[in-house]
Amino acid sequence: MRARVCRHNEMARRVAERAKQHSNLELALEPTLSICCFRFVHEKARDLNTLNKQIHRQLMKNGVNIPSTTVVDDKFVIRPCFLGARTNWHHADDLVNEVVEIGNNIMSNNA
């Protein structure tokens, strides 16, 4: 159980690091335990809250990565919480990759 808790906390930190390094991601809060709050950003987006709601809606439709959401400092953010016994490292990377892919698709369709 201890190893699982440590792994999940590290997964949240991994998402945070990827968000810090990616030009289209923004970390809203440093991870707390196994929770990380981040969002997709794009210079041409008129409303980042609406954009991230659209991204979250598409994540739910896709059914692969299903994070929750919250609002941090008036910013709508994606909020994964890593808890499941079968949750593994690739889940953190898959979520970040899917958020970026969906965000880029939305922005290219709005261009």
| CA–CA gap between residue 83 and residue 37 (Å, rounded) | 15
Average pLDDT over residues 37-59: 97
Report pLDDT digits (tens) over 61-96. Answer: 999 999 999 999 999 999 999 999 999 999 999 999
pTM of the predicted protein model: 0.96
pLDDT at 110: 84
Residue 47 has pLDDT above 90, yes or no: yes
**85 vs 15, higher pLDDT:** 15
Average pLDDT over residues 2-27: 97
Q: Are strands 68-72 and 25-32 parallel, antiparallel or unpaired?
A: unpaired
Alpha carbons within 13 angstroms on the beta-carbon side of residue 103 total: 28
Planar angle of CA 94, 47, 108, nearest 5 degrees: 55
Would you list the DSSP string of 20-69?
HH-TTEEEEEEEETTEEEEEE--TT-S-HHHHHHHHHHHHHHHTS---EE
Residue 111 has pLDDT above 70, yes or no: no
